[in-house]
Structure 1
């Protein structure tokens, strides 16, 4: 725990050294995008995208799961999505899956199933993308073309990210 405490104590100095302004937020500062990903510690959205504080509005869940929309009992994930779409008015949402995900490993625990892990990870990412697409606030913004959705897949071992191309029906390098 001590290394984390030490880093937290020196964060303002390190941020200043990299030109990151930690001063008061301005009303014009809004996230560029929402990034929905797994809570796995190997997946670091700001590092993957090169974002700075305030650039991304993040939602991190086990397996990057997006709960189905329910009108009468919204989950905290649903409320986070609605806030990003309706209040922050993000223009892009990225749903990002990743390799070596515990959710996928639970589906294919046999090491001989390794060739299926990548395909299963891609499928899982697209299922979350579809769940997000069913949210009424998302559908409304998609209809008026003020919101774009993206499905990405991060390979932990290679450090590379692919994007889903619906025309090719596959994930391709960014």
Structure 2
């Protein structure tokens, strides 16, 4: 385990000697004024997902929330960190857009489709209840004997759309949308190809080209 810490330290040194000097002025500006991110980016905690890299954003542009499965409990259910982040970003930081981003090969979606695989992790099992309806919709829209990969792709998309429904139940979000101060989009990121598909109409995910 010490090797892992040394690897992290080596990364810090590279940042301090190579990355930071080239962008020092940007970092100085970032700390000299209050943050004003334009987007709340809600993504999965999967270690292969890097919201800033995907969007080529710089420090200060996005307020990022990550958790297993990019889930957003409906307001009043499981009140905690997720609700607080949403409220803070919308009410105080005044973000103009919210992205809910799912991704290919998501472990949470695998657990959703195979509940027995998470029975030894009660906290995860309980958390995934926030996505149960996505599985029901994905299975209802499917055909018999279809490829497992197709169902996985569909449940990933339906989960993102479901979480946006949950997001809209949060009072701060509902009010900002009513004032036309906030918009929302659903994304799915394909790790292996770099493709990002965005749904703006609540129905179809269209690749960014």
TM-score with structure 1 setting the length: 0.90
1:8 CA drift (Å): 1.4
**Cα 1:154–1:94, aligned 2, differ >3 Å: closer, same or farther?**
same
Q: Do structure 1's residue 12 and structure 2's residue 12 form an aligned pair?
A: no
Q: Deviations over 1:84-132 (max 9, x none)?
A: 00010000110001110011112335xx512211111101111111111
Q: Match for residue 68 of structure 1? A: 74
Q: Do structure 1's residue 146 and structure 2's residue 181 form an aligned pair?
A: yes
Any stretches of 5+ residues in structure 1 without a counterpart?
Answer: none
Q: Number of paired residues?
A: 171
More strand by share: 1
1:20 CA drift (Å): 5.9
Q: Do structure 1's residue 35 and structure 2's residue 41 form an aligned pair?
A: yes
Q: Match for residue 97 of structure 1? A: 102
Q: Match for residue 136 of structure 1? A: 171
Alignment partners' CA distance in 2, 1:102 and 1:77: 19
Alignment partners' CA distance in 1, 2:95 and 2:170: 15
Alignment partners' CA distance in 2, 1:151 and 1:15: 33
TM-score with structure 2 setting the length: 0.75
What do you get for the CA RMSD once the two structures are aligned? 2.1
SS in 2 for 1:60: strand
Higher-Rg structure is: 2
2:162 aligned to which of 95, 108, 127:
127
More helix by share: 2
1:15 CA drift (Å): 2.6
Alpha carbons 2:42, 2:64 under 8 Å: kept? yes
Alignment partners' CA distance in 2, 1:55 and 1:173: 23
